[in-house]
Homo-oligomer: A and B are copies of this chain.
């Protein structure tokens, strides 16, 4: 059995399925068809089935997929059937918002450490977490057994912070700074560029860009 590479798009869609399944569960649906699941996330039934088929056979022909079970399975595939310890760097604008961003905790991502280099912030309590000096990160990251770092510092200093984060042994980084960060091959880095989508909207508006929308 060859381990085929799963595409980025498939993973992202798993997140969508999970979200839809949570709603379906709340609405007390026992099962759901690929058709219904697709409709709820503006995708095609074939896409749903194909995505799921990469990981196994979760459905019953003629009936559909068991909602609760599939939800658990996808959570397990995504690795969010557990808690992740997250540290956040830069308690500014975006950083503060992320600390109380419910969707993170709902998916099992716990921000339990805050770092900043501003002396006025260090030592103060932000939503129940004492802000640490960024200089102490190595020790503190290890003590708290942090597994994921979220970077919300200005672009000008982001690379320095990331270099230190990598040195401290972190293998997964989510970057909000608008800069292309360099990390070693074995470190997973993802970028969140919020103005990109606005730029896409701008492009679409001025160019009357035809919308690609899966027909259902």
Q: Does B5 contact A199, Cβ atoms closer than 8 Å?
A: no
Q: Which residues of B contact A11 (CB under 8 A)?
A: 199-200, 203
* A50 close to chain B: CB less than 8 A: no
Contact with B along A1-28 (1 / 0, CB 8 A): 0000110100110111001100000000
Identical chains bound together, number: 2
* A103 close to chain B: CB less than 8 A: yes
CB within 8 A of A104: which of B19, B20, B198? B198
How many residues on chain A are close to B (CB under 8 Å)?
A: 71
> Which residue among A8, A147, A202 has the maximum number of chain B CB atoms within 10 Å of its CB?
A202
- Considering the chains assembled together, what is the distance between the CA atoms of A212 and B180 in angstroms? 15
Known: A93-B101, A94-B97. A15 touches B195 (CB 8 A): yes
> Could you list which residues of chain A lie within 8 angstroms of chain B, going by C-beta atoms?
5-6, 8, 11-12, 14-16, 19-20, 40-42, 77-80, 84, 86, 93-94, 96-98, 100-101, 103-104, 106-109, 147-148, 150, 171-174, 178-180, 185, 188-207, 209-216
Known A-B contacts: A5-B212, A19-B180. Give 18 more (CB < 8 A): A6-B207, A8-B200, A12-B200, A40-B180, A77-B203, A78-B199, A96-B97, A97-B97, A109-B195, A109-B202, A148-B198, A148-B201, A171-B205, A172-B202, A174-B197, A189-B214, A191-B197, A193-B216
10 A-B pairs with the lowest CB-CB distances in the bound complex, closest first: A79-B206, A97-B97, A79-B202, A190-B197, A172-B201, A103-B195, A188-B204, A15-B196, A93-B97, A15-B199
Q: Can you name 8 A-B residue pairings with CB atoms under 8 Å?
A: A6-B207, A101-B194, A103-B194, A107-B195, A108-B202, A174-B198, A190-B198, A191-B214
